[in-house]
């Protein structure tokens, strides 16, 4: 394996942790923190309390809080910001480790540029321009992204995809795209460069995983506004508390305490983890080998209402397989199976092999060697539209119904009407009938079927439970399509699909307000990929398809779309639960801080101290420490994401509300009390 970057990396890999710790302090720079309004308020609070600490060190005033208290509050406020930075740094670190690996591959190569299609000149790859043609031979690295315009070659793309098996790239058709940095293993190709240096796929990939190009997604922006608004509300509440406290007879209102209250109330938990959640979402996709071109695409994936799935490769295995032998006109099933197997022994197509295997499994007929039994193999030809073998005077043929009936009638045999019925029956259910004859006698029909992938029906049921409609896209006729659709359990299908029909379907769905996701690989898929809200291009596909989509699946596995949707949903859910948790937390913090603030003027309010915290200072400090630590504790959840369960929105919401809403109210009561006990035990308060 050329590559380990796609392997599951432990959440707290020391290789990521060490630079992340350094980064989380470096990110304290105000120009960085200001991007996050909630954390910016915390940082200003930290500066304020630190200044008060300094003042009290130099010239303590009568109303000053004890030094150890101000020190501890300042310390933990700073660490609230550091922990939030740490979450972001860890999330970015995972991407950075991958980017470093990619960068190593982007080594400076020499390109053999073709001038006027004849003369070659050697230039550095970095001076290649769009439209240049280059020659690449076995053992050389492809100098840039492009399309093969001449020749065919096997290429090792493991650097990009992690897949070690080489792939074939050839001029023309849908397998012409090559990626810079991959290696030609055999033959010679001429490549037309389609991306200037710095804009190549590899460059974009590095920028994306590094987070350099990260832009806030629409929902993230909206959530940020909500959090900033809540922060302002609490700012009012805390600032206006000062005059009201003065009215109530509090001699001097401690700024340290007000700042502590403010920081505890503003939604620091979600504020601190929000960007980490977004980065982690892209990262989770990358670990599934899907490269999202933007966070917006990941968010859209969670919202998808309709999935368009290509039949071949996604829903079915793509090869027709023999599933049944149906004897006719007095032949027995064994006779038919025997003849069918003999006719297919030398047939290396997947269909042929499946016939041999079925005969073996069903009737115990062992595969025989063609040479051993002295048979002469008749290959398929476009003229006869049959294949088969001749041996010991037996002439066995298999082929399409019309071809065989012509062949049999030519030999003086008759074709009974029974066969017609069987043939039509198979066609009607979406299968392909293959008629077998021996001499001038028809033995029966082999039922070839497009086999639906195992477990796919359950997956679609899962999607139905999520409220997502699946539509199968196929070039088959409506009858065949309906049969396969029924078997696979998709909600709908588009038969005899043309690129135009596909495009129309996407637009229709979108007019109804739905978000559409699809996969595609060919150039003719490009417009639809661009039109779809989530377009996943296969890495084996054309450059045009990759440009048009907003995600690229490096494994080129169309089934991946299903995972993409789940990851999108996970990311949105993680945001939701942490927002709910963060706001619910405030209830307990009030009960810790408010009694502590006013105990001096109104000792009667002691019953409000329902947690029985040791002292006013201990209460405030415990709340601040809890507030900081909870960010740290929730980093794994933010990075991993909450688990999505396809149980329908209602039950899912009920579950989340209980865990993160009710739990969010209760947890801090316990946490703050525990911290208070620890503070008391170590004798700090």
* Window 500 to 529, contacts with other proteins (CB under 8 A): 511-515
Minimum CB separation from other proteins for residue 379, in Å?
Answer: 52
Q: Annotated catalytic sites, by residue?
A: 310
Residue 310's H or E segment, with its range, is strand 306-310
- The only residue of 256, 644, 668, 685 in contact with other proteins, by rule CB under 8 A: 644
Q: Could you say which residues in the range 599-628 bind other proteins, by CB under 8 A?
A: 602, 604-608
Q: Could you say which residues in the range 578-597 bind other proteins, by CB under 8 A?
A: 579-580, 583-584, 586-587, 590, 594
Q: Render 350-400 in DSSP notation, one character per residue.
A: HHHHHHHHHHHHHH------TTTTT-EEE---TTT-EEEEEETTEEEEEE-
Reference 202, options 555, 131, 210, 217; nearest CA is 210
Minimum CB separation from other proteins for residue 32, in Å?
Answer: 22
* Residue corresponding to tokens 């789940």: 566
Residues whose CB is less than 8 angstroms from the CB of residue 31 and which lie 6 or more positions away in sequence, other chains included: none
- The only residue of 265, 355, 415, 625 in contact with other proteins, by rule CB under 8 A: 265
In the complex with other proteins, the residue whose CB is nearer, 240 or 409, is: 240
CB atoms within 10 A of CB 443: 28
In the complex with other proteins, the residue whose CB is nearer, 548 or 565, is: 565
Q: Would you count residue 288 as binding other proteins (CB under 8 A)?
A: no
- The only residue of 340, 468, 634, 639 in contact with other proteins, by rule CB under 8 A: 468
- The only residue of 172, 467, 478, 636 in contact with other proteins, by rule CB under 8 A: 467
Q: Would you count residue 458 as binding other proteins (CB under 8 A)?
A: no
In the complex with other proteins, the residue whose CB is nearer, 93 or 302, is: 302
**Chain centre to alpha carbon of residue 670:** 37
**Chain centre to alpha carbon of residue 104:** 25
Structure tokens at 168: 């074939």
Minimum CB separation from other proteins for residue 604, in Å?
Answer: 4
Q: What is the DSSP letter of 612?
A: -
User: Residue ranges of the alpha helices (H) in 174-254?
Assistant: 201-210, 218-247
Q: β-strands 306-310, 469-473: how paired? A: parallel
In the complex with other proteins, the residue whose CB is nearer, 8 or 604, is: 604
In the complex with other proteins, the residue whose CB is nearer, 484 or 572, is: 572
Minimum CB separation from other proteins for residue 358, in Å?
Answer: 39
Q: Would you count residue 261 as binding other proteins (CB under 8 A)?
A: yes
Residues whose CB is less than 8 angstroms from the CB of residue 69 and which lie 6 or more positions away in sequence, other chains included: 256, 617, 620, 621
In the complex with other proteins, the residue whose CB is nearer, 607 or 683, is: 607
Burial of 97 (0-12, 13-18, 19+ CB in 10 A): middle
Q: Could you say which residues in the range 19-48 bind other proteins, by CB under 8 A?
A: none
Q: Would you count residue 447 as binding other proteins (CB under 8 A)?
A: no
CB 240 within 8 A of CB 224: no
In the complex with other proteins, the residue whose CB is nearer, 51 or 649, is: 649
- The only residue of 17, 365, 406, 465 in contact with other proteins, by rule CB under 8 A: 465
Cα distance between residue 226 and residue 232, in whole Å: 10
Minimum CB separation from other proteins for residue 668, in Å?
Answer: 13
Strand order in the sheet with 119-124: 119-124, 110-115, 133-137, 188-193, 146-150, 177-178
Choices 109-117, 173-181, 351-359, 460-468; region in contact with other proteins by CB under 8 A: 460-468
CB 273 within 8 A of CB 628: no
The three-class DSSP label of residue 675 is: helix
Cα distance between residue 342 and residue 436, in whole Å: 11
The three-class DSSP label of residue 565 is: helix
Minimum CB separation from other proteins for residue 573, in Å?
Answer: 5
Q: β-strands 551-553, 534-538: how paired? A: parallel
- The CA-based dihedral angle spanning residues 631, 636, 641, 647, taken in that order and rounded to the nearest 10 degrees: -100
Choices 79-87, 141-149, 551-559, 570-578; region in contact with other proteins by CB under 8 A: 570-578
Q: Could you say which residues in the range 224-253 bind other proteins, by CB under 8 A?
A: 225-226, 228-230, 232-234, 236-248
In the complex with other proteins, the residue whose CB is nearer, 282 or 423, is: 282
Minimum CB separation from other proteins for residue 574, in Å?
Answer: 8
Choices 325-333, 395-403, 567-575, 616-624; region in contact with other proteins by CB under 8 A: 567-575
Structure tokens at 63: 């109303």
Q: Per-residue string for binding with other proteins, 378-397, x by CB under 8 A? A: --------------------
CB atoms within 10 A of CB 451: 17
Q: Could you say which residues in the range 191-230 bind other proteins, by CB under 8 A?
A: 218-219, 221-223, 225-226, 228-230
- The only residue of 60, 478, 636, 648 in contact with other proteins, by rule CB under 8 A: 648
Strand order in the sheet with 290-292: 290-292, 551-553, 534-538, 516-520, 306-310, 469-473, 492-494
Q: Would you count residue 442 as binding other proteins (CB under 8 A)?
A: no
Q: Would you count residue 653 as binding other proteins (CB under 8 A)?
A: yes
Cα distance between residue 250 and residue 468, in whole Å: 59
Q: Could you say which residues in the range 293-332 bind other proteins, by CB under 8 A?
A: 299, 302-303, 305
Residues in binding contact with other proteins, number by CB under 8 A: 77
Structure tokens at 515: 């978000």
Q: Could you say which residues in the range 654-673 bind other proteins, by CB under 8 A?
A: 654, 656-657, 660-661
Minimum CB separation from other proteins for residue 593, in Å?
Answer: 9
In the complex with other proteins, the residue whose CB is nearer, 115 or 246, is: 246
Cα distance between residue 519 and residue 41, in whole Å: 44
In the complex with other proteins, the residue whose CB is nearer, 265 or 505, is: 265
Q: Would you count residue 598 as binding other proteins (CB under 8 A)?
A: yes
Minimum CB separation from other proteins for residue 224, in Å?
Answer: 8
Minimum CB separation from other proteins for residue 508, in Å?
Answer: 13
CB 389 within 8 A of CB 343: yes
Minimum CB separation from other proteins for residue 229, in Å?
Answer: 3
In the complex with other proteins, the residue whose CB is nearer, 587 or 674, is: 587
Altogether, the residues listed in the chain come to a count of 685
- The only residue of 53, 456, 573, 672 in contact with other proteins, by rule CB under 8 A: 573
């Amino acid at each position: 394996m050329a590559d380990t970057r796609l392997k599951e990396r432990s959440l707290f890999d020391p290789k990521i942790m060490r630079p992340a710790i350094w980064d989380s302090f470096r990110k304290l720079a105000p120009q960085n923190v200001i991007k996050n309004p909630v954390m910016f308020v915390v940082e200003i609070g930290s500066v304020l309390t630190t200044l008060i600490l300094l003042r009290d060190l130099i010239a303590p005033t009568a109303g000053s809080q004890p030094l150890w208290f101000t020190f501890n509050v300042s310390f933990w406020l700073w660490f609230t910001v550091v922990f939030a930075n740490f979450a972001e740094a860890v999330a970015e670190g995972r991407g950075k480790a991958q980017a470093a690996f990619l960068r190593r591959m982007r080594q400076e190569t020499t390109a053999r540029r073709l001038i006027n299609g004849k003369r070659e000149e050697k230039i550095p790859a970095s001076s290649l321009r769009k439209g240049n043609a280059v020659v690449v031979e076995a053992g050389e690295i492809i100098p840039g992204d492009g399309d093969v315009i001449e020749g065919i070659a096997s290429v090792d793309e493991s650097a990009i995809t992690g897949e070690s098996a080489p792939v074939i790239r050839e001029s023309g058709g849908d397998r012409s795209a090559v990626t810079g940095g991959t290696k030609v293993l055999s033959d010679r190709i001429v490549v037309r460069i389609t991306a200037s240096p710095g804009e190549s796929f590899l460059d974009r990939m590095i920028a994306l995983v590094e987070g350099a190009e990260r832009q806030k997604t629409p929902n993230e922006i909206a959530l940020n506004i909500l959090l900033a608004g809540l922060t302002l509300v609490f700012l009012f509440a805390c600032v206006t508390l000062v005059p009201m406290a003065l009215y109530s007879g509090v001699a001097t209102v401690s700024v340290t305490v007000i700042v502590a209250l403010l920081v505890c109330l503003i939604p620091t938990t979600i504020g601190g983890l929000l960007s980490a959640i977004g980065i982690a979402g892209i990262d989770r996709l990358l670990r599934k080998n899907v490269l999202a071109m933007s966070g917006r695409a990941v968010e859209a994936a969670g919202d998808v209402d309709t999935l368009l799935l290509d039949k071949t490769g996604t829903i079915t295995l793509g090869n027709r397989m023999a599933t049944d032998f149906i004897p006719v006109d007095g032949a027995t099933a064994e006779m038919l199976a025997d003849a069918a197997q003999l006719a297919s022994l030398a047939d290396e197509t997947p269909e042929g092999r499946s016939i041999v295997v079925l005969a073996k499994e069903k009737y115990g007929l062992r595969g025989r060697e063609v040479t051993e039994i002295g048979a002469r193999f008749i290959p398929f030809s476009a003229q006869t539209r049959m294949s088969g073998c001749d041996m010991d005077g037996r002439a066995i043929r298999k082929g399409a119904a019309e071809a065989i009936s012509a062949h049999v009638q030519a030999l003086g045999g008759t074709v009974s009407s029974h066969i017609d019925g069987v043939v039509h029956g198979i066609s009607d259910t979406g299968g392909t009938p293959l008629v077998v004859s021996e001499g001038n006698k028809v033995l029966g029909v082999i039922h070839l079927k497009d086999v639906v992938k195992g477990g796919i029906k359950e997956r679609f049921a899962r999607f139905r439970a999520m409220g997502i409609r699946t539509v199968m896209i196929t070039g088959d006729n409506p009858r065949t399509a309906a049969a396969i659709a029924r078997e696979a359990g998709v909600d709908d299908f588009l038969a005899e699909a043309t690129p135009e029909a596909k495009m129309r379907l996407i637009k229709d769905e979108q007019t109804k307000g739905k978000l559409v996701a699809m996969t595609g690989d060919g150039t003719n898929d490009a417009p639809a990929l661009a039109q779809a809200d989530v377009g996943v291009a296969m890495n084996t596909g054309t450059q045009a398809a990759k440009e048009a989509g907003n995600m690229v699946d490096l494994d080129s596995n169309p089934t991946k779309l299903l995972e993409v949707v789940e990851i999108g949903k996970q990311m949105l859910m993680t945001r939701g639960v942490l927002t709910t948790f963060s706001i619910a937390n405030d209830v307990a913090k009030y009960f810790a801080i408010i009694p502590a603030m006013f105990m001096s003027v109104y000792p009667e309010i002691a019953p409000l101290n329902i947690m029985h915290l040791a002292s006013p200072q201990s209460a405030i400090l415990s709340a601040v420490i809890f507030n900081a630590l909870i960010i740290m504790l929730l980093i794994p959840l933010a990075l991993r994401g909450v688990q999505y369960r396809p149980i329908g929105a209602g039950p899912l919401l009920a579950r989340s509300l209980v865990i993160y809403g009710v739990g969010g109210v209760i947890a801090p009561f316990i946490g703050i009390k525990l911290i208070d006990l620890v503070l008391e035990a170590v004798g700090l308060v």
